[in-house]
Each structure stands twice: as C-alpha cells, then as structure tokens.
Chains A and B, each alone.
Chain A
C-alpha cells in the first residue's frame, strides 16, 4: 500500500516536472519561431528589392540602349549571319 502511494507521488512529481519542462521548451521554440519569422520577413523584403533591381537593370530597352551606346554593337544584316551546325 505504502509502496503504491510512493510510486504515485513519484509519478505525480515526474509528470509535473515534465509539464513545466515542456512549457519551457514550447516557449523557447516560440521565441525561436518569432525570431525566424522576423528574419524571413527581412529576407522577403530584400528578395523583393533585389528582384525589382534585377528587372530594372535587365529591361529590354535598357539593354538595347547599353548595347548601342556603350558597347557600340549593331544588329547584323541577315546576310551577315552565319548559321552553324550543332
């Protein structure tokens, strides 16, 4: 009888400690999630900015303009084009 009671008390104590521990873990993880969400948000914003930058820089009209003015490229006439067998 006494042994059973002692066992119960031990189980009870064990369970309360584990509740406390899992609560603590949940909180730690939650904080971690919050932290990661904040950085995710930051990365998403940065990704958006970079995408816009890339798109602005790779705009067709800009590339064409750069090719003409900076690199002095010209469009070859059709009879100047050589097609090569692959």
Chain B
C-alpha cells in the first residue's frame, strides 16, 4: 500500500515538476523569440543604421586642381599629391618616447608639441599635426607606425617660376582655393569638385575597406594663359636689375601682342615667391601693373598729335612756335625743358615739348579731345578681369578749362595703370585699332575698336621712330636690328598734394618693329634715386634689353635696320620658330 501510495505521490510530484520546468522553458523560449522578433523585425532598421553609422562613413576625396600653363604649354602652376599628417587623440596611448621625438623632428615640430596637442584635444577624433608634407617625409612617418597617427592625401600647389609669375598667378590657400591673381579670377575653371566615397571602419576608426564610390572627384580644368614664360622671364630679370641699379621703390612692365591684344608678359617689382609665403606683406603681392594708377605724362603726347591729325586740327606739315619756352594760359604757365623754337610734329614728339602740345590741344574743342582719350580707354578699366584691376580717371570735358585741357595734352590730370597705357598704344601699333587685352590665349581679337585712321597711326609711328635716334629722348631704348617707335615720360609725382621736384616716375612705351609692329611694351620705374630719372635713361634701357632678346625668341625678321653692318639675311619669309 505504502509503496503504491508512494509511487503515486512520486509520480504526481514528477509530473508537476516536469510541467513547471516545461512551462519555465517555454516562457524562456517565448521571451527569446520575442526579443529576436523585436531585434530582427521591429527594430532592425534602427539597429542596422546605428551599426552602420559606427562603421560605415562617407569620406571626401580631394579633386585635382587644374593646371595653369603658358601659351606654349609650359606649366606655371601645378598641383601635386602630398600627404597631410593627422592624429586621433583618442587612439593615442603610451607611445614610445623615441617615436614621438622621431615624429616631431620629421614634421619639424617643436619638441613636446605632440604631447601638448594630444593633451589639449583629448575629446577630439581629428587634429592636424602637419599639412602638406612631401611624399618622402610621409613614408617615414608611416614607417614609425604610431597608433592614432594617420595620413591623408591632399594636393599642394607649386609654382615653378616662383617670383617671376607671383603677381600674375597669385596663390591658393591651404585648402587649395584661389586667393589672389589668376588663381582667384579663374577659381571656377580651375577648381575641381571633390568626390565622395563610402568606407568601412573598424572599432578604432581605421579605414578597412572601400565600399563604393558615391561620386567620383571631378578634376578642375586646365587654364592656358597668354603669357609666354620665356618673355616673362626676360622681362622680370631686366626689370629687377633696373629697379635695383636705379634704387627705385618699385617698377612694372607690361608686354602685349600688337595684333591680338594678348598679354605676353606682366611683371612687377618688388615681387614675392608664391611657394614660400612666410614673408607675405601687402605691398609685395600687389600686381602694380594692373592695380596702381599714375599720371602717364609725356607718353600720351602721341595720342594728342594723332587726335589732332585725325580731327583735322593740324596737318602733317604744320609747325608750332614754342618760343620762348613757356606758354601762359590764364594764370598758369606751361614750361618746356628749354626753348626749342619752331618745331614740326616729329620734333614735338622727339623733343617732347609741353608748350607745343598745349598749343595744339587748345586748338581742339575739349569734347573732341576728351572723346579720343575716352576711346583710348582712359578712365575705364582695361577689362582683363584681374582682381583689383584699376580703371584710372579722366577729368570730364564739361568741367575742363583751357589750362586743364593743356595739362591733359602732356599727361597730367589723367591717371591710368601700366596695362591701360600699353593697351592705348595698341591703337598706334595696329594701324588705329585699339585692342581689348586678355590674359587668355587667343588668335584673334574680336573686340578691337577703331580710334585712329591707319594713315595717322603709321604716321605717328614714323615720328616716334625718331625718339630713339641719337638726339631723341630715348637713344638707350633702341634695339639693334629693329626699328623702334617709342615715347618716354618723366612724371613728377604728387607728394602731399603738389608736384614734387625730387620724386619721379620714369616711363617708356615702345612699339617694335615700328613698320610692322609685333609687340608693345610699357615700362614704369617708380622713384629712381640713383641719379638718373629721365624715362629714356631709366626705363628705356629695359625696353632695349628685353626686346632685343624677345625679337630673337619670337623669330622676328630683322629686315629693318638703319645703323651698323647689315646682318646676312639669306631669307626669312615665312620663318617660324
């Protein structure tokens, strides 16, 4: 009995226990299932997203900035890949001290800087240690294998011609965005569009794999400019030498193609090296040839004579009596260097007589004279599109009295930049057509405007050839083997509101070869203090030195010569370098 009772008891107990156990297990299973459903179905998107953002990120891929090349394809500005070293302070822990010193000396950081950076930025994931290091240094940094120190690829801009093209090209900032000069003016063309790619990272945020490319980087377009780097170099070298030897405060030079209006060279002093911007100061990086204006002085006299000829106010054979060497207009007096007596038009330009041009100017209605000056681009920007380009000033004819009109005839009361002056001379060089100027390469100028008749323009050039004769004002500007039409200017600077007798601008503008012009060049030397200050003595030799070589480089046929032995020209028709 007992046993049977016991058996039943035992049986019942075990059944209950089994049922409880089963129940508990079933509940556990339900909970697990529920959790699984919640994780896999209900919260799947959220959790997957959370997981992804910890491991999958989109990173930028830097794009290549377009090259700037000269008219012959020589590179003037190129971007090359470099590495930037950065650190994730959260990953850095007990780095061997010799590694830190090694890193600091590689990156040229002061001792202890690394530790300082880490301590300062413990809550950050990204701090630059040094940007734009050379590939050689980058490889050495990589070899140190310091945890948390990473390398990124970036581009750095290099300017192979350095200070020679500094003002013209300008420069970019550390993020490769144009800041000055052409880099700024053509930012939209040169700039690439950075791409994006999706990468997978591990828990320590090291990139382990590229997943996909979202958008590929679009490289910037190359820019071909009108500059000829050979002429640019020559111009720079000679201008620098002249500014130095005359102890001048600054200087500018612009060379234009007489037929297309392209800028072939534009240089300034003082200059700067865009590759090394440690000593960057405002006065160094201004492109004076484009941004600074001055009174052009005697260099505008050819325009006055040309206007008077075309307007019918004088004829080619007219003479002007300049004695006694000064000319009274109301309460004011216009003076010549000395009494030149009776002068023909050619001698007016050759001697640069203020009295004669004043008398001619006063024969002309103010409006007519102003009209010619205005059409030559005075008072308007040259339209190159360079940042900070100056437009200069030209007094309005309605408010002009006779004396002001006279001063305008010898280049006071009007201001312009060197590039505007050079541009105005294209009207004389290309038989009366004033060209638009551009820094981009082109074969033909579609925006030229007629200012003078072809006959007048070639007449004036013939007159200006006498300026570089032995008794002209710019004998030193002559170029052996080539005829030169040019005009000097020696301008008194305005100091504290009145014209100074001690500080001058020395100018020379020339056209070469005079009969069939190829180039126009304007040279300005500001405040020469070494003795000479006449335009012909200071700026003239620069013209001569630059042009004699430029003619050879461009292969211009030296068929027009007046002095010395004839060069043996077997033939030069159709000669192309």
Contacts and interface: CB of A to CB of B under 8 A. Distances in A.
B160 A78 contact: no
A41 B565 contact: no
Contacts of A80: 567
A79 B480 contact: yes
A81 B557 CA distance: 11
Contact of B570 (A44, A51, A75, A82): A82
Interface string B548-577: 110010000110000011111111111100
Contacts of B481: 78-79
A70 B484 CA distance: 35
Contacts of B575: 83, 86
A77 interface: yes
A37 B207 CA distance: 15
A59 B160 contact: yes
Contact of B81 (A41, A77, A83): A41
B339 interface: no
B244 interface: no
Given A61-B233, A82-B570, A85-B570, A55 B565 contact: no
Contact of A81 (B78, B135, B567): B567
Contact of A83 (B209, B480, B565, B572): B572
Contacts of B572: 83, 85
- A interface SS class: helix
B122 interface: no
Contact of B80 (A48, A79, A81, A85): A48
A56 interface: yes
A77 B79 CA distance: 40
A79 B566 contact: yes
Nearest to A63: B233
A84 interface: yes
Scoring A37, A51, A79, A81 by chain B CB atoms within 10 A of each residue's CB, the highest score goes to A79
Contacts of B571: 83-85
Given A56-B160, A60-B233, A83 B548 contact: no
A34 B564 CA distance: 70
Contacts, number: 76
B165 to A, nearest CB: 11
Interface in B52-91: 75, 78-81
A57 to B, nearest CB: 10
A75 B552 CA distance: 10
Interface string A18-52: 00000000000010001001000100110111011
A22 B572 CA distance: 69
Nearest to A42: B135
Nearest to B76: A55
Nearest to A80: B567
A52 B233 CA distance: 18
Interface string B150-169: 00010000101100100000
B363 interface: no
A34 B570 contact: no
A81 B79 CA distance: 40
B196 interface: no
B237 interface: yes
A78 B81 contact: no
B480 A78 contact: yes
Interface string B230-242: 1001000100000
Given A48-B81, A49-B135, A55-B160, A78 B549 contact: no
Scoring A56, A78, A80, A82 by chain B CB atoms within 10 A of each residue's CB, the highest score goes to A78
B405 interface: no
Given A41-B81, A45-B135, A83-B575, A78 B158 contact: no
B568 A82 contact: yes
Given A78-B480, A83-B557, A49 B80 contact: yes
A41 B80 contact: no
Contacts of B210: 30, 34, 37
Which 10 residue pairs of A and B lie closest in terms of their CB atoms, listed nearest first?
Answer: A48-B80, A85-B571, A55-B160, A78-B481, A60-B233, A78-B480, A79-B567, A83-B572, A45-B135, A45-B81
5 contacts: A49-B135, A60-B229, A60-B233, A83-B575, A84-B571
Given A45-B135, A60-B161, A81-B552, 9 more contacts: A51-B78, A51-B80, A52-B80, A55-B78, A60-B229, A79-B565, A80-B567, A85-B570, A86-B575
